[in-house]
Structure 1
Amino acid sequence: MDRDRSAAPLWRCPLCGRTFAARNQTHTCAEVGDLDRHFDACAPQVRATFDRIVAVLQDIGPFTVLPEKTRIAFHVRMSFAAVMPRRKWLSGHLVLDRRIENPRFTRIETYSPRNILHAFRIASPAEVDDEFTVWLAAAYRVGEQRHLTG
């Protein structure tokens, strides 16, 4: 029987303060950056698309936005999604607990049987539709590590 990892206490890196599900997890130990900097060279719809993703996630549950050097990660117990703003779109990925074949995913990489990266590219808030919202909710569940409890 799997123990409920979603209830275990988080480990906080003593240097950067970031939280992790695994003690001493390997990471780029750096302070988070400026969120707005990621959008400096972007068309307005790129920020609007990001804001739509944030709004959908806020309806799902609490999370942390981590503006890192090369990406913006979404984190609960673990990072479950990330985006990289480009001039006219967001490149990104969701971590799901099963493989979903869909032409909206540009690449799928299996890291473990229940941690499967699904890469995407979206260019407008309208693309954060009902289908994408279902995937965000599934990724959020992975971020909570609830997919490991049964």
Structure 2
Amino acid sequence: MTRNLWHACGRYSLKALFARSEPQVWRVYQQYVKLVRSIGPITVVPQKSRFVFMTRIRFAGGMPRKSYLDAHFLYPEPLRSPRITSSEKFPSCYVHRVQLRTPRDLDAQLRGWLRAAYRVGLQEKM
């Protein structure tokens, strides 16, 4: 955590985050973590209503919903894809959201996006 990065301290658990989700959402989460870890070392941080993946900064994560995982990731540019459910512009990047409903949603396209997000998390020049 860098000194100037806003954060909130608290003790949160993945169990509490997924308490209201259907069992397949937990399985999708586990595959999501596995996919991101295949890109490089990360820390998984449970927060009050979401979890984030961190390297130097948080670069991806998600919010468990009842029947799907609302995943998000930083990306250096806008993305045009029917899979993107929303996008938000920040000064140096974009935050894109996708719904992950089954392990099949964790495909090569998502891996490519997450690879770029990981580099954003390392604060590499793109």
Query: What TM-score do the two structures reach when normalised by structure 1?
Result: 0.79
1:26-56 CA-partner distances (Å, limit 9, x unpaired): 222x134111211112111101111111111
Are 1:57 and 2:36 counterparts? Answer: yes
Q: For 2:95 and 2:55, locate their aligned partners in 1 and report how far apart those are by CA, in whole Å.
A: 16
Which of 92, 106, 109 is matched with 1:128 structurally? 106
Runs of 5+ consecutive residues of structure 1 not aligned to the other structure = 1-18
Q: Determine helix, strand or coil for the equivalent of 1:100.
A: coil
Runs of 5+ consecutive residues of structure 2 not aligned to the other structure = none
1:40-95 CA-partner distances (Å, limit 9, x unpaired): 12111101111111111111111110100011011111111120001100112110
Are 1:90 and 2:69 counterparts? Answer: yes
Q: For 1:54 and 1:92, locate their aligned partners in 2 and report how far apart those are by CA, in whole Å.
A: 11
Q: Between Structure 1 and Structure 2, whose CA radius of gyration is higher?
A: 1
Q: For 1:32 and 1:100, locate their aligned partners in 2 and report how far apart those are by CA, in whole Å.
A: 34
Aligned to 1:26: 6
1:11-39 CA-partner distances (Å, limit 9, x unpaired): xxxxxxxx23xx232222x1341112111
The equivalences for 1:1-150 within 5 A come to 19-20=1-2, 23-28=3-8, 30-112=9-91, 114-146=92-124, 149-150=125-126
Query: What TM-score do the two structures reach when normalised by structure 2?
Result: 0.93
- State the superposition RMSD in angstroms: 1.3
Moved over 4 A (4+): none
